[in-house]
């Protein structure tokens, strides 16, 4: 229907009907064709113009980096920053020296290395001495305690290599035993390690406290006590392996054997160290009974601790 003339705008032509072939007038475009249009450049100062220097203050903080500089380079070029870095390095070096000097007062790191100076021959002989010590005759140590030599030159000298390696092996063997009993969890390794360390610390403190209370003239320091306390892990490893192979019977037989061997080893080793060297006018040694009591107490405590630290692993219960 044609639009009435009264409703046409001035200058508007009358539309004709479109032919069926599509030859009529073209329809108006709904959207603007922008496929061939050029992109509108962003306004100056907006965003980052990479490769072009920007001048002026950046509101995000500081001045933007100049061309050829990476972000933060001008911080290191600042004289105040360089001075602060030099001061921090000097302060760190002074702190390191302070810690090293104070550590030397309580832990003789220069002498601690002698306890790890071992070789294959020494380790084999010392393990044989721990397993069967009854045929060994000379238990004296042929060097001065103030200037020790490497244990590989002295079979009777205490070392820390065997205790440390035995401790790690004990934790692994304990995990294997609990794995065969379907009780293994990763947390159990940490529990066993922390429990053994706590008992070693208690034993060490008890021994040193007994030496102080009894006022014994003992040629014994804390590293020696720690070494003698760590030898028990060798017997504990063999006891767990025997229990794993032969159940409870093998465990108790191995525990009795290694417990007795370690007690004999402790008595013969500590005797020349703990017994005092000063004598009275009548020729009797002072503090002999107290020294023997301490030696026997330390020796008898080893089988008890071996049983305490392995029985709950072997049988799955804590006594």
For 4-25, b/e burial (b = at least 16 CB within 10 A) is eeeeeeeeeeeeeeeeeeeeee
For 36, list phi and psi in degrees, rounded to 5.
-105, 10
Under the banding of pLDDT at 50, 70 and 90, the label for residue 315 is: confident
Give the pLDDT confidence score for residue 81 in this predicted structure.
56
Does a structural domain hold residue 67? no
Q: Once rounded to an integer, what is the mean pLDDT over residues 13-25?
A: 46
Between 258 and 287, the more confident residue is 258
Between 42 and 195, the more confident residue is 195
DSSP bridge pairs for 279: 285
Across the chain, mean pLDDT equals 75
Give the pLDDT confidence score for residue 127 in this predicted structure.
96
Give the pLDDT confidence score for residue 258 in this predicted structure.
97
Residues 162 and 309 in one domain: yes
- Helices and strands (H, E) in the chain, number of each type: 9, 0
Distance of CA 161 to the CA centre of its chain: 18
Give the separation between CA 221 and CA 209, rounded to whole angstroms: 12
Give the pLDDT confidence score for residue 278 in this predicted structure.
42
Residues 89 and 176 in one domain: no
Residues 165 and 253 in one domain: yes
Examine the fold and report which residue of 76, 109, 142 is the final residue of a domain before the chain moves on.
109
Residues 103 and 249 in one domain: no
Domain hosting 93: range is 84-109
Does a structural domain hold residue 177? yes
Domain count, the chain: 2
DSSP bridge pairs for 285: 279
pLDDT in tens, 136-146: 988 888 766 56
Residues 165 and 98 in one domain: no
pLDDT in tens, 43-65: 554 445 444 444 444 444 444 55
Between 319 and 132, the more confident residue is 132
pLDDT in tens, 185-207: 888 899 999 999 999 999 999 99
Does a structural domain hold residue 41? no
Does a structural domain hold residue 99? yes
Q: Once rounded to an integer, what is the mean pLDDT over residues 276-283?
A: 48
Give the pLDDT confidence score for residue 217 in this predicted structure.
73
Residues 286 and 211 in one domain: yes
Does a structural domain hold residue 249? yes
Give the pLDDT confidence score for residue 228 in this predicted structure.
94
Q: Once rounded to an integer, what is the mean pLDDT over residues 15-43?
A: 51
Does a structural domain hold residue 35? no
Does a structural domain hold residue 257? yes
- Highest mean pLDDT, choosing among 133-142, 157-166, 217-226: 157-166
Residues 178 and 256 in one domain: yes
Give the separation between CA 40 and CA 34, rounded to whole angstroms: 12
Q: Once rounded to an integer, what is the mean pLDDT over residues 78-98?
A: 64
Under the banding of pLDDT at 50, 70 and 90, the label for residue 21 is: very low
Under the banding of pLDDT at 50, 70 and 90, the label for residue 131 is: very high
Q: Between the CA of residue 262 and those of 213, 254, 309, what are the distances in Å? A: 25, 12, 15
Q: Is the pTM of this model over 0.85?
A: no
Residues 191 and 252 in one domain: yes
Residues 162 and 273 in one domain: yes
Contacts of 262 (CB under 8 A, 6+ apart): 130, 231, 232, 235, 299, 302, 303, 306
Residues 263 and 179 in one domain: yes
Does a structural domain hold residue 51? no
- Highest mean pLDDT, choosing among 14-28, 44-58, 237-251: 237-251
Residues 310 and 165 in one domain: yes
Residues 287 and 168 in one domain: yes
Give the pLDDT confidence score for residue 173 in this predicted structure.
94
């Amino acid at each position: 229907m044609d639009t009435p003339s009264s409703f046409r705008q001035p200058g508007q032509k009358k539309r004709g009907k479109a032919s069926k072939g599509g030859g009529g007038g073209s329809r108006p475009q709904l959207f603007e064709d922008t496929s061939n249009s050029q992109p509108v450049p962003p306004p100056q100062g907006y965003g980052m113009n990479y490769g072009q220097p920007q001048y002026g203050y950046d509101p995000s903080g500081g001045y933007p980096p100049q061309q050829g500089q990476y972000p933060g380079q001008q911080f290191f070029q600042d004289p105040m920053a360089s001075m602060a870095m030099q001061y921090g390095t000097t302060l760190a070096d002074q702190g390191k020296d302070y810690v090293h000097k104070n550590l030397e007062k309580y832990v003789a790191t220069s002498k601690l290395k002698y306890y790890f100076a071992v070789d294959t021959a020494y380790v084999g002989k010392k393990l044989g001495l721990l397993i069967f010590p009854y045929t060994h005759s000379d238990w004296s140590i042929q060097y001065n305690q103030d200037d020790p030599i490497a244990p590989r030159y002295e079979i009777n000298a205490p070392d820390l290599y065997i205790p440390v390696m035995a401790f790690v092996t004990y934790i692994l063997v304990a995990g294997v035993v609990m794995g065969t009993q379907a009780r293994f969890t990763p947390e159990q390794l940490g529990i066993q390690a922390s429990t053994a360390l706590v008992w070693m610390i208690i034993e060490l403190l008890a021994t040193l406290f007994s030496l102080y209370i009894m006022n014994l003239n003992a040629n014994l320091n804390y590293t020696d006590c720690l070494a003698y306390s760590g030898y028990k892990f060798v017997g504990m490893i063999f006891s767990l392996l025997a229990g794993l192979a032969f159940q409870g019977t093998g465990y108790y037989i191995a525990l009795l054997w290694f417990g007795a061997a370690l007690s004999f080893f402790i008595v013969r080793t500590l005797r020349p160290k703990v017994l005092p060297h000063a004598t009275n006018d009548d020729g009797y040694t002072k503090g002999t009974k107290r020294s023997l009591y301490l030696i026997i107490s330390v020796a008898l405590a080893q089988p008890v601790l071996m049983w305490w630290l392995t029985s709950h692993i072997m049988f799955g219960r804590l006594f």
